[in-house]
């Protein structure tokens, strides 16, 4: 890997680059899925290549190749420089980078069991056993299970002198029960939608999920939803479970704080952000109990946004995003930090693979825990609706107006779960919603969720992000608009 | 099995011809067929399938009237599917050294062994005949970063002149794919693709336009930018309109992003699994008489391989006939289970999804957007939609937002821009409420794949809430 990186950097400099960095990445993936008692996907893949990013004539260029011979890498580096010079045809000003030291380091996330060393047969057996448990329940029409494992080994090297070797091991698993009856398809997932839970961890994550124990419950709930009452419409008190709240954080905090969006760089595709620069350290984003961080450090937890260095060689950091309700920070890169006068990048540049340009991505964007116990929160709620497990999510391209629906809801009356509700949904405006938060559960109920499917950029990149959250309560929220006539 | 001697001879002739071709850039001179044959020879599995994809792609991205990202990539994807004792699995790599090729061949076989037998697994297909499609453009394949940059500079200058801010992409690419197996099947496909999309922004408004084609000469970036610029100017200072049910005039990109959510509902597997909105509804009149839908990879405005993931030749299928959903897409295995014939729409095996039509061609009409506006007393004209998601998969209620050019239509005229709406709308009901259709054109959005689709005027479209811009 180091040889390839050196060939790239030397060629880029020789061709006129004033800065260059290279990422050599070796990615191995195992995907397994089952459906209704049969194996669906059973595949392994590996991909090795190099991505070379340069500044020449004051503009960015990027090229990538999987031809890792000296000739192949040098041609790729030369192409990156040529592309940068073409970019300069439409240049308004030279790219400037916030300063960063050079690092020589190696890092690997801790895990107990290498999922690629666990026999595939054992992994399939577990999914098929959970599948069988779900299909025991009368009315379940489709039972699905999946596991995904990913090992990413990468070397980052730059003309500034960095050489950073990292290995990240990710694991994920989940199960789903679907039930069709009458004119409805109902669904329950465990432990979350989007393939379950995903973390920077080994196979021990899958074992900790105890899929077999939860399979009958979600199967029964998917069938029971057909005879549940329709979620009512109106302004109500809302309690979100931690997985749905994690996605709420992702969509209505994580994306709008991306500084490349704010600066208009995503305007044509992912959109922009309502969080214009004038709002920094001035906007009351949420109520005073709302505290959110962007934390890529391992001490935050083994999330999909955890690493030692980002993909432009900046060490992992914890950035306060919302402090006592006040908006205090963006997700930044070296060039966007420089553009708004910040002294240093927040270290959030990441790329999906060797053939993609690093861009600002969420790390672990987490809502800090509050003080409430879950039982106390429910008991304290006279008339509320509890919503669990995301089913549908949508938000406008500046991240103001959102609408979410969940797989299941519960009406809470006089501090107790009163009845199950089907087709729950809620909608609102981001800042109004976060300012209506009046209770957040404690760390005992806090989970660092993995969202493996965050899309951004052109060409599109899919990235895993982490979101810690515990259940929380919001007042006067619009409920049920998704099904309103 | 190894390839027959006659086929090997034919492939050698094809290789010789290919290597003399001047149009193929140096990076794409890898002999896919020779590589595939080499991999097949390494395999000791009962049956083996090799899929190889080779491509170059480049994309120039601009924002704030300057190029801020400019990328290029070369990719090779080699995928091997092995069948061992009635079981199958897949392993993939991008490495071509002998050790890596031996590794994926053995990894596919090893993965296959470690699972229960699959009673639905069919023998691999033997040699097939494919209709020719021509989707290669030397102009697209030969596009350089300088060519793209020069067009982008024109667009940026246009924006500056209009006191607007431009953002967008201009991309070009060239790909080759090959599918072959140990039973003699050989399928090849080559395609170029170009795309330009642009958003023009003012302080409180925006406009958008996009085009894709295999031939970059079909794309006029400046004309697209001018269209987006006009939308941004016309929607300046948007007013807030109360959410309600309105007559909606949906431009082709907006229609595409909605009706694209129906594609898997036409999969035989979705019907078997009761996951389709057409479960129990096939053969019934659901939509307006004007709605007819084909899946047709051979349509001149379509792109894509004329074969599916197993090498079955794609057929043209009539999915909706004058408002009545008639037929489904089937992979080989699904067709056998449902007593139907394979249509050539199966995904690469193994998978749990089966198949889907992905070359949708909708019937069109003869009304222009101007005709639709002129005939509307009060309605909403929509340029494009954003962040569309399923709310109810059987009623096919979708939610999402309007974006980059939403207008109030009053008394047959565009009365100005309005703030963007959220909608919660059943696509089934929408297709039953169609009042006018424009000509079907190749269109491209961001939520669904490209298709041939008309603009639509539909009554009673449910805009449920408004946002702040």
pLDDT digit string (tens) for B293-319? 999 999 999 999 999 999 999 999 999
Cα–Cα distance for residue pair A223/A181, rounded to 1 Å: 8
> Do A219 and A238 sit in the same domain of this protein?
no
What angle do the packed helices B5-19 and B32-42 form, to 10 degrees? 150
Q: Which token pair is B379?
A: 């309605």
For tokens 């992003």, the residue is B257
Query: Which residue segment(s) compose the domain that A344 sits in?
Result: 229-483
Contact residues for B450 (Cβ-Cβ < 8 A; gap 6+):
B212, B256, B303, B442, B443, B444
Q: What is the mean pLDDT of chain A?
A: 97
Choose the mutation target among B67, B77, B105 for the interface with A, i.e. most A CBs under 10 Å. Answer: B67
Asked if B350 is an interface residue toward chain A (Cβ–Cβ < 8 A), one would say yes
Cα–Cα distance for residue pair A42/B165, rounded to 1 Å: 47
Q: Which token pair is A477?
A: 């929220």
pLDDT tens digit string along A197-232?
999 999 999 999 999 999 999 999 999 999 999 999
From A198, A227, A256, the end of a domain falls on A227
Answer yes or no: are the C-beta atoms of B236 and B437 closer than 8 Å: no
Choose the mutation target among A97, A225, A397, A479 for the interface with B, i.e. most B CBs under 10 Å. Answer: A397
Asked if B72 is an interface residue toward chain A (Cβ–Cβ < 8 A), one would say yes
Strand pairing class (A383-395; A234-240): parallel
Check A64 against B394: CB less than 8 A apart. Answer: no
Asked if A180 is an interface residue toward chain B (Cβ–Cβ < 8 A), one would say yes
> Do A185 and A297 sit in the same domain of this protein?
no
Check A396 against B152: CB less than 8 A apart. Answer: no
* Half-sphere exposure of residue A362: CA atoms within 13 angstroms, side-chain side: 34
> Do A276 and A165 sit in the same domain of this protein?
no
- Return the pLDDT at B29: 57
Answer yes or no: are the C-beta atoms of B85 and B110 closer than 8 Å: no
User: Which residues share a beta bridge with A372?
Assistant: A441
> Do A222 and A262 sit in the same domain of this protein?
no
From A166, A200, A227, the end of a domain falls on A227
Task: Provide the 8-state DSSP code for A200.
Answer: S
* Half-sphere exposure of residue A421: CA atoms within 13 angstroms, side-chain side: 23
Check A183 against B148: CB less than 8 A apart. Answer: no
Q: Which residue of A has its CA nearest to B76?
A: A66
Task: Using alpha carbons, list the distances in angstroms from residue A113 to A29, A206, A297.
Answer: 16, 10, 21
Check A396 against B64: CB less than 8 A apart. Answer: no
When CB atoms are compared, the residue of A89, A121, A267 closest to B167 is: A267
B86: left (phi over 0), alpha (psi -120 to 50) or beta: left
Task: Provide the 8-state DSSP code for A298.
Answer: G
> Do A319 and A397 sit in the same domain of this protein?
yes
Contact residues for B85 (Cβ-Cβ < 8 A; gap 6+):
B46, B113, B117
For residue A213, count other CB atoms closer than 10 A to its CB: 11
For tokens 């306060």, the residue is A320
Calculate how close chain B gets to A375, using CA atoms only, in Å.
Answer: 30
Which chain B residues are Cβ-neighbours of A121 within 8 angstroms?
A: 114-115
Cα–Cα distance for residue pair A64/A68, rounded to 1 Å: 10
List, as own/partner pairs, every contact residues A375-382 make where C-beta atoms lie below 8 angstroms and the sequence separation is at least 24, other chains included. Answer: A377/A239, A377/A439, A377/A441, A377/A471, A377/A473, A378/A239, A378/A412, A378/A415, A378/A416, A378/A417, A379/A415, A379/A416, A380/A415, A380/A439, A381/A237, A381/A239, A381/A412, A381/A415, A381/A473, A382/A412, A382/A413, A382/A414, A382/A415
Task: Using alpha carbons, list the distances in angstroms from residue A318 to A364, A366, A402, B77.
Answer: 9, 11, 27, 38
CA B358 and chain centroid, separation: 6
Asked if A128 is an interface residue toward chain B (Cβ–Cβ < 8 A), one would say yes
Which chain A residues are Cβ-neighbours of B169 within 8 angstroms?
A: 268-269, 458
What angle do the packed helices B221-234 and B145-161 form, to 10 degrees? 30
For residue B340, count other CB atoms closer than 10 A to its CB: 14
> Do A305 and A389 sit in the same domain of this protein?
yes
B window 93-132, beta carbon within 8 A of A: 93-95, 100, 104, 107, 111-112, 114-116, 118, 120
Cα–Cα distance for residue pair A85/A254, rounded to 1 Å: 33
ipTM of the complex: 0.96
pLDDT tens digit string along A222-277?
999 999 999 999 999 999 999 999 999 999 999 999 999 999 999 999 999 999 99
Check A392 against B390: CB less than 8 A apart. Answer: yes
Choose the mutation target among A24, A53, A89, A484 for the interface with B, i.e. most B CBs under 10 Å. Answer: A89
- Choose among B346, B313, B316: nearest CA to B332: B346
- Rounded to 5°, the CA angle B383-B389-B394 comes to 115
Asked if B348 is an interface residue toward chain A (Cβ–Cβ < 8 A), one would say no
When CB atoms are compared, the residue of A76, A90, A268 closest to B167 is: A268
- Choose among A152, A63, A66, A40: nearest CA to B77: A66
> Do A145 and A251 sit in the same domain of this protein?
no
Answer yes or no: are the C-beta atoms of A184 and B394 closer than 8 Å: yes
- Return the pLDDT at B128: 98
Check A459 against B171: CB less than 8 A apart. Answer: yes
From A227, A249, A265, the end of a domain falls on A227
pLDDT tens digit string along A416-447?
999 999 999 999 999 999 999 999 999 999 99
Q: Decide: residue A483, CB within 10 A, 0-12 exposed, 13-18 middle, 19+ buried.
A: buried
Task: Provide the 8-state DSSP code for B314.
Answer: P
pLDDT for residue B4 is more than 70: no
Q: Which residue of B has its CA nearest to A42?
A: B89
When CB atoms are compared, the residue of B63, B76, B468 closest to A400 is: B468
pLDDT for residue B111 is more than 90: yes
Cα–Cα distance for residue pair A332/A326, rounded to 1 Å: 18
Cα–Cα distance for residue pair A255/A251, rounded to 1 Å: 6
Asked if A92 is an interface residue toward chain B (Cβ–Cβ < 8 A), one would say yes
| DSSP states of A204-261 | HHHHHH-HHHHHHHHHHHHHHGGGSEEPP-EEEEEEE-HHHHHHHHIIIIITTTBHHH
Q: Which domains does chain B have, with CATH numbers?
A: 5-201 (3.30.2290.10), 238-469 (no CATH)
Asked if A414 is an interface residue toward chain B (Cβ–Cβ < 8 A), one would say no
- Choose among B138, B383, B162, B264: nearest CA to A397: B383
For residue B335, count other CB atoms closer than 10 A to its CB: 22
When CB atoms are compared, the residue of A43, A66, A120 closest to B94 is: A66
Asked if A230 is an interface residue toward chain B (Cβ–Cβ < 8 A), one would say no
For chain A, what is the domain count?
2
> Do A59 and A194 sit in the same domain of this protein?
yes
Answer yes or no: are the C-beta atoms of A400 and B469 closer than 8 Å: yes
Contact residues for A125 (Cβ-Cβ < 8 A; gap 6+):
none
Query: What CATH number does the domain containing A188 carry?
Result: 3.30.2290.10
Q: What is the mean pLDDT of chain B?
A: 93
> Do A477 and A437 sit in the same domain of this protein?
yes
> Do A32 and A45 sit in the same domain of this protein?
yes
Beta strands, E only, A87-222: 104-108, 142-158, 163-181, 184-190, 197-199
Check B394 against A185: CB less than 8 A apart. Answer: yes
Query: In degrees to the nearest 10, what's the CA dihedral of B454, B456, B461, B467?
Result: 70
**The model scores a pTM over 0.90:** yes
Looking at residues B67-81, what average pLDDT do you find? 94
Size of interface A-B (CB pairs under 8 A): 266
pLDDT for residue B441 is more than 70: yes
Q: Over its length of 485 residues, how does chain A's per-residue pLDDT go in tens digits?
A: 999 999 999 999 999 999 999 999 999 999 999 999 999 999 999 999 999 999 999 999 999 999 999 999 999 999 999 999 999 998 999 999 999 999 999 999 999 999 999 999 999 999 999 999 999 999 999 999 999 999 999 999 999 999 999 999 999 999 999 999 999 999 999 999 989 999 999 999 999 999 999 999 999 999 999 999 999 999 999 999 999 999 999 999 999 999 999 999 999 999 999 999 999 999 999 999 999 999 999 999 999 999 999 999 999 999 999 999 999 999 999 999 999 999 999 999 999 999 999 999 999 999 999 999 999 999 999 999 999 999 999 999 999 999 999 999 999 999 999 999 999 999 999 999 999 999 999 999 999 999 999 999 999 999 999 999 999 999 999 999 999 98
Q: Which token pair is A224?
A: 């029971």
Buried b (16+ CB within 10 A) or exposed e, B120-150: ebeebbeebebeebebbbeebbebebebbbe
Check B350 against A183: CB less than 8 A apart. Answer: no
Which chain A residues are Cβ-neighbours of B59 within 8 angstroms?
A: 458-459
| DSSP states of B347-390 | PSSS-SS-B---SEEE---S--HHHHHHT-SEEEEEEEEEEEEE
Asked if B26 is an interface residue toward chain A (Cβ–Cβ < 8 A), one would say no
For residue B419, count other CB atoms closer than 10 A to its CB: 17
For residue B365, count other CB atoms closer than 10 A to its CB: 18
First CA to last CA distance, chain A: 59
Q: Is B301 helix (H, G, I), strand (E, B) or coil?
A: coil
When CB atoms are compared, the residue of B72, B393, B466 closest to A185 is: B393
> Do A354 and A251 sit in the same domain of this protein?
yes
> Do A262 and A180 sit in the same domain of this protein?
no
Q: Which residue of A has its CA nearest to B348?
A: A41
Structural element, H or E, at residue B175:
strand B165-181
Q: Which residue of A has its CA nearest to B446?
A: A269
Cα–Cα distance for residue pair A421/A236, rounded to 1 Å: 14
Check B116 against A65: CB less than 8 A apart. Answer: no
pLDDT for residue B18 is more than 70: no
Asked if B171 is an interface residue toward chain A (Cβ–Cβ < 8 A), one would say yes
């Amino acid at each position: 890997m180091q040889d390839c990186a050196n060939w790239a950097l030397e060629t880029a400099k020789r061709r006129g680059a004033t800065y260059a960095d290279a990422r050599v990445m070796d990615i191995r993936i195992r995907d397994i899925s089952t459906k209704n008692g049969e194996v669906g996907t059973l595949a392994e893949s590996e991909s090795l290549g190099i991505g070379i990013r340069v500044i020449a004539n004051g503009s960015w260029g990027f090229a990538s190749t999987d031809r890792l011979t000296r000739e192949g890498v040098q041609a790729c580096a030369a192409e990156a420089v040529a592309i940068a010079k073409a970019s300069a045809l439409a240049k308004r000003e030279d790219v400037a980078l916030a300063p960063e030291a050079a690092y020589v380091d190696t890092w690997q996330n801790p895990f107990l069991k290498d999922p690629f060393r666990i026999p595939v047969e054992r992994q399939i057996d577990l999914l098929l056993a959970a599948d069988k448990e779900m299909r025991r329940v009368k009315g379940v029409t489709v039972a699905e299970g999946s596991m995904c494992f990913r090992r990413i080994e990468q070397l980052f090297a730059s003309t500034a002198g960095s050489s950073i070797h990292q290995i990240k091991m990710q694991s994920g698993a989940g199960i789903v029960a679907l039930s069709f009856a009458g004119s409805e398809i109902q669904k329950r997932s465990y432990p979350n939608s989007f393939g379950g839970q995903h973390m920077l961890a080994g196979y021990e994550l899958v074992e900790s999920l105890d899929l077999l124990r939860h399979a009958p419950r979600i199967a029964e709930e998917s069938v029971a939803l057909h005879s549940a009452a329709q979620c009512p419409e109106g302004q109500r008190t809302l309690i979100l479970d931690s997985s749905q709240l994690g996605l709420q954080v992702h969509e209505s905090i994580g994306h709008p704080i991306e500084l490349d969006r704010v600066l208009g760089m995503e305007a044509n595709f992912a959109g922009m952000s309502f969080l214009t620069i004038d709002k920094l350290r001035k906007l009351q984003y949420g109520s005073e109990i709302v505290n959110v961080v962007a934390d890529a450090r391992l001490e935050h937890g083994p999330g999909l946004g955890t690493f030692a260095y980002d993909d432009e060689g900046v060490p992992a950091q914890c950035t306060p995003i919302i402090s006592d309700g006040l908006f205090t920070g963006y997700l930044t890169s070296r060039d966007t930090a420089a553009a708004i006068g910040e002294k240093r990048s927040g270290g959030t540049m990441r790329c999906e693979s060797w053939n993609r340009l690093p861009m600002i991505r969420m790390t672990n964007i987490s809502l800090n825990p509050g003080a409430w116990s879950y039982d106390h929160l429910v008991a304290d709620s006279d008339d509320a609706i509890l919503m669990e497990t995301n089913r549908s999510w949508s938000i406008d391209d500046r991240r103001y107006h959102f609408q979410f629906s969940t797989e299941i809801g519960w009406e809470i009356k006089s501090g107790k779960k009163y009845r199950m509700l089907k087709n729950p949904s809620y909608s609102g405006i981001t800042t109004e919603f976060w300012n209506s938060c009046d209770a957040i559960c404690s760390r005992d109920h806090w989970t660092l969720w993995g969202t493996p499917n965050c899309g951004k950029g052109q060409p599109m990149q899919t990235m895993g992000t982490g979101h810690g959250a515990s259940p929380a309560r919001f007042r006067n929220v619009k409920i049920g608009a998704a099904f309103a006539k | 099995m190894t390839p027959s001697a006659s086929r090997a001879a034919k492939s050698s002739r094809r290789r010789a011809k290919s290597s003399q071709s001047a149009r193929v850039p140096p990076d794409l001179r890898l002999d896919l067929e020779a590589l595939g044959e080499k991999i097949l020879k390494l395999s000791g599995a009962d049956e083996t399938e090799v899929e190889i994809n080779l491509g170059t792609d480049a994309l120039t991205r601009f924002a704030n009237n300057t190029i801020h990202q400019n990328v290029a990539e070369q990719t090779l994807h080699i995928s091997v599917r092995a069948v061992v004792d009635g079981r199958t699995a897949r392993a993939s790599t991008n490495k071509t050294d002998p050790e890596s090729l031996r590794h994926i061949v053995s990894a596919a076989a090893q993965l296959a062994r470690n699972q229960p037998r699959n009673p639905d697994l069919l023998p691999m297909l033997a040699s097939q005949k494919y209709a020719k499609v021509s989707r290669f453009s030397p102009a697209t394949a030969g596009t350089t970063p300088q060519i793209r940059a020069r067009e982008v500079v024109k667009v940026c200058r246009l924006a500056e002149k209009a006191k607007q801010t431009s953002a967008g992409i201009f991309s070009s690419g060239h790909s080759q794919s090959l599918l072959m197996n140990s039973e003699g099947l050989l399928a090849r496909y080559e395609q170029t693709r170009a795309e330009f999309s642009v958003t023009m922004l003012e302080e409180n408004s925006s406009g958008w336009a996009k085009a894709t084609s295999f031939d970059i000469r079909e794309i006029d970036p400046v004309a697209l930018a001018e269209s987006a610029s006009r939308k941004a100017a016309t929607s300046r200072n948007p007013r807030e309109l109360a959410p309600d049910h309105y007559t909606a005039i949906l431009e082709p990109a907006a229609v595409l992003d909605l009706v694209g959510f129906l594609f898997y509902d036409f999969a035989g597997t979705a019907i078997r699994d009761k996951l389709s909105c057409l479960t129990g509804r096939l053969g019934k009149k659901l939509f307006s008489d004007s709605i007819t839908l084909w899946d047709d990879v051979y349509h001149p405005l379509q792109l894509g391989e004329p074969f599916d993931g197993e090498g079955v030749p794609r057929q043209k299928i009539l999915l909706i006939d004058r408002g009545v959903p008639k037929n489904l897409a089937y992979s080989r295995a699904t067709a056998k289970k449902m007593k139907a014939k394979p249509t050539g729409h199966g995904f690469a095996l193994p998978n749990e999804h089966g198949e889907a039509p992905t070359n949708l061609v909708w019937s069109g009409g003869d009304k222009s957007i101007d005709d639709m506006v002129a005939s509307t007393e009060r309605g909403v004209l929509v340029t494009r939609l954003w962040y569309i998601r399923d709310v109810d998969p059987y009623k096919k209620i979708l939610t999402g937002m309007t974006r980059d050019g939403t207008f109030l239509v009053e008394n047959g005229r565009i009365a100005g821009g309005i703030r963007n709406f959220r909608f919660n709308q059943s696509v089934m009901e929408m297709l039953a409420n169609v009042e006018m259709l424009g000509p079907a054109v190749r269109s491209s959005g961001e939520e669904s794949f490209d298709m041939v689709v008309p603009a639509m005027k539909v009554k009673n479209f449910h805009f449920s809430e408004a946002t702040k811009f």
